[in-house]
Amino acid sequence: MRRNRYSIFSLARNAVSYHQDWSEAWRSPDPAASYDVIVAGGGGHGLATAYYLAAEHDVGRIAVLEKGWIGGGNTGRNTTIVRSNYLWDEAAHLYEKSLQLWEGLSQELNFNVMFSQRGVMNLGHTLQDMRDIYRRSNANRLNGIDSEILTPAEIKAKVPAMNVSSEARYPVLGASFQPRGGVARHDAVAWGFARAADARGVDIIQNCEVTGIRRENGAVCGVETTRGLIGARKVAVVVAGHASVLADMAELRFPVESHPLQALVSEPLKPVLDTVIMSNAVHGYVSQSDKGELVIGAGIDAYTGYGQRGSFSIIEGNVAAIVELFPVFSRVRMLRQWGGIVDVCPDACPIISKTPVKGLYFNCGWGTGGFKATPGSGWVFAHTVAQDEPHALNAAFDLERFTTGALIDEHGAAGVAH
């Protein structure tokens, strides 16, 4: 496979030929009759899974099946926040692994994913918020994760646009701050993993929807798709909002519910916000993209929904929260809004697990916070699929926990998670 390596030099070289000679970032092959591993779902997590399977495990032929275009689900719809300051050890270790992968991802993939470590600030507005912040930050530090606690004055110094007045309805009493957190360019993550996986021989097959999961003697043997039957020794499902739909194909019932999650951006502005701000009590989060747009999100719509759209009242509440925190944004204008489908687990933690069907694996339930986990999720899921055993980092995130009761309740840390 001929591949351009991306660099300023290749860019200059190609400029001479007016960029006529760039090779495809990934091929568009027809599906083969069978694969050793089929990854169902061409979002960031699925592509990362395929990449790490190809790069770090010896599993034979791999295909990624995507019903639409790669990165078109939540990968391309989220607010791109990356952080690892989770409360419980299990979650903290998983997200920290992911954060460490982020830190070298552009180089590893030879694709600039624009991981921008501009810091993530989680605001506290009540005394209980501040207790929770101390608890989480203290735990983060002992887990080797960077975390600071900021006073309102320190917050104001970093974020002059924010209202930290004690007269506010829910005054800002303090914040936790993770300097290594930040944002990344969401599309680039999907494309970078796709390009790197393709370079290692993974077939990325778009417009190919899985419509059935074939089993024999309790083990998986292939998938039915809109492009025909494709054989497989192992099937790794990582389809976010549609997890229940695919689980149903294997007659499994899952503890997830799919909800609309909305986000919006403002018109582009000159730099006015240098870090990522998240608030649970005043329910919203905001950062400013490199293009200058304020990227804003909040919580899910309460009802089950596969429509990739939610209710306007959520947007209204979300925008009010942002204007409450940032009164200077009142005259700024909202450009565009959209929605995705998130599958939510009862404990706000994902499922990365084997299933009762041999050779069938599920990675789902990331709720509103999956983007940050993209590389880490792919990394542990690849291990789980290749070894038929979870990695120590995802052992706690199995389906069993809903039977034993060993939930990892991250509601406090995830909150309006994203």
Q: Which of residues 345-404 bind other proteins (CB under 8 A)?
A: 346, 401-404
Closer of 140 and 386 to other proteins (Cβ): 140
Q: How far apart are the first and last CA of the chain?
A: 38
Q: Of all helices (H) and strands (E), which one includes residue 102?
A: helix 89-103
Closer of 2 and 19 to other proteins (Cβ): 19
Please compute, for residue 182, the number of CA atoms within 13 A of its CA located in the half-sphere on the CB side.
17
Tell me the closest approach of the beta carbon of residue 62 to other proteins, in angstroms: 18
Interactions with other proteins, residue window 255-274 (CB under 8 A): 255-258, 266-272
Burial tier of 18 (Cβ tally within 10 Å: 0-12, 13-18, 19+): exposed
Residue 179 C-alpha from the chain's centroid: 19
Interactions with other proteins, residue window 85-144 (CB under 8 A): 89, 93, 103-104, 106-107, 110-112, 114-118, 125-128, 131-139, 141-144
Q: Does 2 bind other proteins (CB under 8 A)?
A: no
Contacts with other proteins, 34-53, as mask; x by CB under 8 A: --------------------
Query: Binders of other proteins: how many residues, by CB under 8 A?
Result: 132
- Residue 346 CA to residue 218 CA, distance in Å, equals 28
Tell me the closest approach of the beta carbon of residue 257 to other proteins, in angstroms: 5
Give φ, ψ of 212 to 5 degrees: -165, 155
- Residue 48 CA to residue 37 CA, distance in Å, equals 14
Options 149, 200, 211, 391; binder of other proteins; rule CB under 8 A: 149
Kindly give the pairing relationship between strand 257-266 and strand 62-65.
Answer: unpaired
Which residue type is seen at 227? R
Q: Whose CA is closest to 213, among 351, 344, 359, 354?
A: 359
Q: Mention every residue, 6+ apart, whose C-beta is less than 8 A from residue 159.
A: 121, 273, 274, 275, 277
Closer of 221 and 366 to other proteins (Cβ): 366
Which residue type is seen at 400? E
Closer of 33 and 127 to other proteins (Cβ): 127
Tell me the closest approach of the beta carbon of residue 68 to other proteins, in angstroms: 7
Closer of 77 and 233 to other proteins (Cβ): 77
Kindly give the pairing relationship between strand 34-40 and strand 228-237.
Answer: parallel
Contacts with other proteins, 164-203, as mask; x by CB under 8 A: ---xxxx--------------x-xx--xx-----------
Contact between 337 and 309 (Cβ < 8 Å)? no
Tell me the closest approach of the beta carbon of residue 57 to other proteins, in angstroms: 25
Interactions with other proteins, residue window 299-328 (CB under 8 A): 302-307, 309, 311-313, 315-317, 319-324, 327-328
Tell me the closest approach of the beta carbon of residue 389 to other proteins, in angstroms: 20
Contact between 338 and 237 (Cβ < 8 Å)? no
Tell me the closest approach of the beta carbon of residue 380 to other proteins, in angstroms: 17
